[in-house]
Chains A and B, each alone.
Chain A
Amino acid sequence: MGHGHDHDHSLSPDLPSGGDVPPALDLSVPDSELSPSDVSRRGFLRGAGLLGAGAAASVLATPSPASASAPESHSHAGGLRWLAGDHHIHTQYSSDGQYRVIDQARHGRAFGLDWVVITDHGSVAHAKIGVEKVNPDIRATREELKDLLTFQGLEWNIPAAEHATVFVAPSKHEVDVLKQFEQTYEGSLLPATNTPEQNEAAAIAGIKFLASQVQARKVDGALFLANHPARRGIDSPHEIRNWRDADPTVAIGFEGAPGHQAAGIPAPYGRGGARGYYDNNPSAASFAGYPLESYRTWGGFDWMTATVGGLWDSLLAEGKAWWITVNSDSHVNYLDQSDRGPDSNFDVNGKHNDPVHTGKTLTTAGDFWPGFYGRTNVGASAFGYKAVMDGLRAGRVWVDHGRLIKGLDARVRTAGDRRWSTGTPLGGVLHTKRGTSTELTLDIDLQDVPNWAQFVAVLKRVDVIVGTVTGPVSDRDAFTAPNTKVVKSFEISKTSGRIALTCSLGRLDKPFYVRVRGTDGNRTQPGLMGASVDPHGPKLDVIGDADPWGDLWFYTNPIWVLPK
């Protein structure tokens, strides 16, 4: 069940599930028919250049409290419970995997996870056999490990792009939905003669299909998260925007950091490769605009997330809800001593035979067990499948490596308001009057329990990152946010207990968002947008010399502050 700490606060209104455009943003409603407050809101947004196509599909369209459904409808009697998880895990049903579902699940549980998603690669064999055959194993795991939420998903070869986690809420239709999805939209099954444009359209159709299955009540939820997005430069900015806009209740984010974090451990003790296996070069399928920096990791994180003022920020600055996660991508784990079962015939059986103990230590494996290194912490209203999916969709998420911190509560508040029941949490939108003073409050529980490398991680610095919301972009391949930068850094000297940090966000004169990052301070360099934007950003990971335990970071998702 939940570890870390529980909170007993009610939540701010979540993002809308789509459909209802507030009158101020609905340009088919003339000014004359708006309420005075909506006229004022529209005027403000117009003045800020935030009206127009796309605004309705962003946080700009979230109802202001005056027009929102009563906050009570969003209250959660039990408060927030932070549930750690991993949405990117392979098993013997992947051609390059080897473990049973229960192997991965039991390790994940033992290493502190509350939820896991089984994501074997989409493929001919998986679409035909594996997607069905894995289900009884997953169901048995749910029975065996009642304090672990085990979702069924798959790792989609997104047509024309990288991989993505796709998963659904457990239901009697979970296999049907995933199987139909895979057989229709799996990139490796589409005609090789498809043009990139046809494949990009298939990706959008796939996301819409998932949404249709939720609407048809086949499953209670379906989510899409792009995996290792910058690894090969083939997730172009416009594709990411298109996935998100295809259905923002399904396509909710990407991996802020890839898995395979053991791959950079120096030889001969480790593989001596690249953290995350990020060692690629631009190819003909890559987006030509991406710089070489995008093909490597920075402090273990993907360039899209690690760059302050980079691609992720460009989405947030548009007002697009788009969240980051951290996962293991476990296939074959560092220092494990098992191997694929002998005499496996993956193509015929859709799986490898059960792993066997060999006594040979896998020093060149690049992965950690789920939960061993990274975790995605979701603020859920309860322990349950739907609550985890709802928390992910709402962006109540922060991530860390190596258990850098124990717990975190970040909220934007009206300055001075310290009531426990108020404040807008991660992923939320605070609507307030222009001129109102707001501040970010951060309560961080410093780590006092050793991580799985047997040391207690020490937090040295916390950075507050703020970006102006500038509205929809005209160039959907934009990947910079020139108005985003680190506005405040806190050097942390305390080494135990809870620290309470406050960062004034000033009087509200234009819409903005705020997000937070922290580090052990071991490896930093000026950010890629310059020292004035990010004086102490994550450092380029060295291929062959990247001890993941010596370079720890946490990142939060954003909170928006918008004028009423």
Chain B
Amino acid sequence: MTWHRSVAGLRTVGVSLGHREAGTADHWILSLDPAPTLACTHLVRSPFPHVAISLQGVSDLPSPAELQPAAAEAAAGKFGRAVVFPGSPDLTGTLTVGDVLARSAIDRVEVLGSGVAPAEQTLDTRDFVRPQFRGDDLVLVTMPAVGGVLVPFETRDPTPCCADHG
């Protein structure tokens, strides 16, 4: 189902608090009350590599002066990774690709390296769905997983650098 970003008719607010990791930016976004209608993370390089945020459905939020350009970059960003989006609370448990398209603003589900996923394919959301905008399209990239299901490309807890591998 398509909800173009502009269709919501809401102003996009950029904010940058210098989060180094997407996970901490996600946490900040999910603690907002009232919740935004759309919230995305954006990877920015300046003044240092960090994660900036764009929001719709909230009033202006201040960013530190040195991060205001990053906040503006996020507000204008076309490739945001969506943390909150229309229908996102309903994407839990195991669904079909068709369910995902019907219930949420996600426009397309793809399989990494293999193109568009068929509507009847089963997707285990693992309760962690982070689609990404490509222009006006919100795309969820998935991968095959154990048991012949798809799972989102992004995992909640990726192996950190120099993990304790035991």
A282 with B43: CB separation less than 8 A: yes
Q: What 7 new A-B contacts, CB under 8 Å, besides A96-B162, A284-B45?
A: A277-B159, A277-B163, A280-B158, A283-B22, A293-B112, A367-B165, A543-B151
Kindly state the interface size class of chain A when it binds its partner: 35 or more
> Once the chains are docked, how many angstroms separate the CA of A118 from the CA of B158?
27
Assuming the contacts A274-B159, A284-B50, A284-B51, asked whether A96 and B22 have C-beta atoms less than 8 A apart, the reply is no
Q: B1 at interface (Cβ–Cβ under 8 A)?
A: no
| 0/1 string, A445-471, CB within 8 A of B gives 1 | 000000000000000000000000000
Tell me the smallest distance from the CB of B49 to a CB of chain A, in Å: 4
Q: How many residues of B contact A (CB 8 A)?
A: 30
Residues of chain B having any CB pair with chain A under 8 Å:
20-22, 43-45, 48-51, 112-114, 141, 143-146, 151, 153-155, 158-159, 161-166
Among A266, A284, A544, the one with the most B-chain Cβ atoms within 10 Å of its Cβ is A284
Q: Across the A-B interface, how many residue pairs have beta carbons closer than 8 Å? A: 88
A-B contact pairs, 9 of them (CB 8 A): A279-B159, A281-B153, A293-B113, A362-B166, A528-B113, A542-B143, A543-B143, A544-B145, A545-B145
Q: Which of B146, B153, B161, B164 contacts A545 (CB 8 A)?
A: B146
B43, B113, B141: the one contacting A283 at CB < 8 Å is: B43
Q: Is the interface of A mostly helix, strand, loop or mixed?
A: loop
- Residue of B49, B114, B158, B161 touching A279 (CB-CB under 8 A): B158
| B85 CB, nearest partner CB in chain A, Å | 17
A198 CB to closest chain B CB (Å) equals 12
Asked if A286 is at the interface of the complex by the 8 Å CB criterion, the answer is yes
Cβ < 8 Å to B, chain A residues 217-262: 232, 260
Interface residues of A in 279-302 (CB under 8 A from B): 279-286, 288, 292-293, 295-296, 298
**Contact check: which of B141, B146, B161 meets A292 at CB < 8 Å?**
B141
Q: Which residue of B lies closest to A540 (CB)?
A: B113
Q: Are B143 and A280 in contact (CB under 8 A)?
A: no
**Is A195 positioned at the interface, with any CB of B under 8 Å from its CB?**
yes
The answer for the CA separation of A232 and B143 in the assembled complex, in Å, is 17
A272 at the interface (CB under 8 A from B): yes
B166 close to A332 (CB less than 8 A): yes
Q: How far is the CA of A274 from the CA of B159 in the complex (A)?
A: 9
Given the contacts A121-B162, A296-B112, A286 and B43 also touching, CB distance less than 8 Å: yes
Q: Which residues of the other chain, A, contact B161 by a CB distance below 8 angstroms?
A: 232
Q: A288-B43, A545-B146 are in contact. Are A365 and B165 (CB under 8 A)?
A: yes
